[in-house]
Structure 1
Amino acid sequence: MNSSLSVQYIQTPRLHIAYEHHGPADGAPVILLHGFPYDPRGYDEIAPELAARGYRVIVPYLRGYGPTRFVSPDIPRSGQQAALAQDLLDLMDALEIPQAALAGFDWGGRAACIVAALWPERVRCLMSADGYNIQDIARSTQPRPPETEHRLWYQYYFHTQRGVDGLTANRRELCELLWQLWSPTWDRGRELYDLSAPSFDNPDFVEVVIHSYRHRFMYAPGDPSLEHIEQALAQQPPIRVPTIALCGGNDGVGPASEEDEDIGLFTGPYQRRILPGVGHNVPQEAPQATLQALLELLEA
């Protein structure tokens, strides 16, 4: 963790959310959201730059990461997409933020996309790594091309007890492997991984991760209190807020295609940019491109 930062906490109905704060408390809010298996370190070159321009920047640790904790042992350790979105809404409510600019990738990008789609009045603008990031769970069991199935091996691993045991015993090594596979051309991954790895020691990390990758394939039930959100997401709602999608040309999970398959799901101002030589961890691999996209949206 950046030694100049202090972690702050806010309580929501489900979580004690740990977050890092940059910039003036009265600045226009920007919330930066990490994914799996990453943490707020992905924004270390972006958050200070936004703060220097007067923005109030909030970088939370998602459920199951770092110092964030559930408020009760009775709350399901769900990793489903609706839970991530509800956590983001709860964070904004607890911090009394009526509207914010959102940026995210992987799990965090999914939370940002969902809030932008279902609660557009809460979102000033959106930077989404890899475009429309809302899961179409009803179609999740349909076979995909073999090269795609190959890249999703870790998800199928997590569907098994062997995967649970493997993630429990080898979380540092497994997550480092995913960093390498998903960002194959990034020469700083090994250097920076050790800064993020402690966040995976959270006591709920394994349970949240396993549930995430089982729920999206309908192999685990969701949190009943979030079912109304999942039903709304099953309609694949469009995103109407101003959006820039940044896609890694060398993303080891899903390399960006030339054709924009998501364009029909964005009905507001929208741009898509493919970043050559960039993998899955877009903000940390391409901080200047990420910052530029955010500033364009914020200053429009």
Structure 2
Amino acid sequence: MDAIEQHLLPVNGIHLNVHVAGPADGQPVWLLHGFPECWHSWRAQIPALAAAGYRVFVPEMRGYGASDAPPAVEDYDLPTLCGDIRAAMDAFGQQRVAVVGHDWGALVAWHLALLDEARVTTLATLSVPYAGRPKRPATEILAAAFAERFNYILYFQQPGVAEAELDADIERSLRLFFRDPGDEDPFLQDKPAGARLFDAQPTPEQLPAWCSHEDLDFYIRAFAGRGFRGALNWYRNFERNWQLNESLAGRQVLQPTLFLVGEHDPVARLEAYTLKRMTEVVPRLEMHWLDCGHWIQNERPQAVNERLLDFLDRHYPA
């Protein structure tokens, strides 16, 4: 990988760790990671985008890695998370950008496109779809649907509960998260509501082909010493996000938008209704299904790079 600059920016009340690569005069492309990852999840995209002439900006999101992790749950709502990235764009003097997001980073990307339409001219999201503001908060919908069964989002709601499980052995937790699509997925297990995420799950001895021991070490370091609390706090703002985003009800994402999703991604099963409705809210949508699971940019890096570079070349040339 080519040389990467590291900037620890004072923005929006925190310090945000941003990695930067590519020619200084290249068009800016932001890569936003999800849960439970770090900037290293874009390791295959950074050199490809930089070689194509783009200036690539890869933050460790609030609560992750070397970025600050405030303790309060309300410090992780979507307007605040978007505010981190918008303030960082201001710090770099950027008036026109492309934003790419995966998982929770996709949700931030969707909302950046709505909140900063003049600056975010091109959008690409991976794994997590968007079909507008729901009629009720997601946690309220899930609580009704999973009254007596386990649901990981509901499990993550109470501060301290999921942390106690995940922080007990960070490497084991990450090995269980980063599994191949054919393995039993803890997010989709049918078990009682009082269960824990990884109950009765053996620790995988082998890492998936897309995650080397060196790669795993990057993720371990991102959580070492601080645990998963900041990352889990993102999940504890569903109701707050719904309330704060009332002004977005009925709004469309009007930017050219690329959406990539894995055929074996559990999120695709959980968000099947949203996927069907996307074109109603995202009229300039291009969607591609890839033969992989949730960790799409790592499982299928070449396919993701080809589609992303082609899309950017047509809508946001370097």
| Cα separation, partners in 2 of 1:248 and 1:108, compared to 1, 3 Å | same
Determine helix, strand or coil for the equivalent of 2:100.
Answer: strand
Range moving further from structure 2, 135-144 or 191-200: 135-144
Choose 255-264 or 86-95, whichever is displaced more.
255-264
Match of 1:158 among 156, 159, 166: 156
Size of the aligned set, in residue pairs, is 284
Distance in 1, Cα, partners of 2:48 & 2:152: 35
Superposed, 1:198-209 pairs within 5 Å as: 198-201=221-224, 203=226, 206-209=228-231
Report whether the alignment pairs 1:127 with 2:124.
yes
CA distance in 2, matches of 1:189, 1:153: 26
Q: Equivalent residues in 2 for 1:91-106 (5 A)?
A: 91-106=88-103
Change (3 A) 1:118 1:162: closer
C-alpha offsets along residues 191-243 of structure 1, whole Å, 9 cap, x if unaligned?
4333322112363x533233222221x3xx57xxx97x53334x153210001
The DSSP-based 3-state class of the residue aligned with 1:66 is coil
Q: 1:58 and 1:11 mapped to 2: Cα distance? A: 16
Amino acid at match of 2:136: A
Mapped to 2, the partners of 1:69 and 1:82 lie a distance apart of 17
The question of whether the paired residues in 2 share the 8 Å contact of 1:39 and 1:61 is answered with yes
Contact 1:14–1:75 (Cα < 8 Å) also in 2: no
Structure with max Cα Rg: 2
RMSD: 3.2
Residue identity over aligned pairs, in percent, reads: 26
Q: Is the 8 A contact 1:32 1:103 kept in 2?
A: yes
For structure 1, which runs of at least 5 residues remain unmatched after alignment? Answer: none
Q: TM-score, normalised by structure 2?
A: 0.77
TM alignment of 1:211-222, pairs within 5 A? 211-216=233-238, 218=239
Is this contact kept in 1: 2:131–2:280, CA < 8 A?
no
Q: Which of 220, 239, 250 is the matching residue for 1:197?
A: 220
> 1:15 is aligned with what amino acid?
I
**1:183–1:252 Cα contact (<8 Å) kept:** no
Instruction: Give the one of 283, 297, 300 matched to 1:283.
Output: 297
1:273 aligns with 2:271: no
Partner of 1:243: 257
Q: Report the Cα distance in structure 2 between the residues aligned to 1:56 and 1:244, rounded to whole angstroms.
A: 19
2:75 is paired with a residue whose SS is coil
Cα distance, 1:132 vs structure 2: 1.8
User: Which one-letter code corresponds to 2:247 in the other structure?
Assistant: A
Deviation at 1:39, TM superposition (A): 1.2
Distance 1:19 1:273 in 2: 29
Q: Distance in 2 between matches of 1:128 and 1:288?
A: 16
Partner of 1:261: 277
Aligned partner letter, 1:173:
R
Deviation at 1:12, TM superposition (A): 0.9
1:94 Cα shift?
Answer: 1.4
CA distance 1:162–1:145, change in 2 (3 Å): closer
Change (3 A) 1:15 1:285: same
Q: 2-side partners of 1:82 and 1:27: how far apart?
A: 28
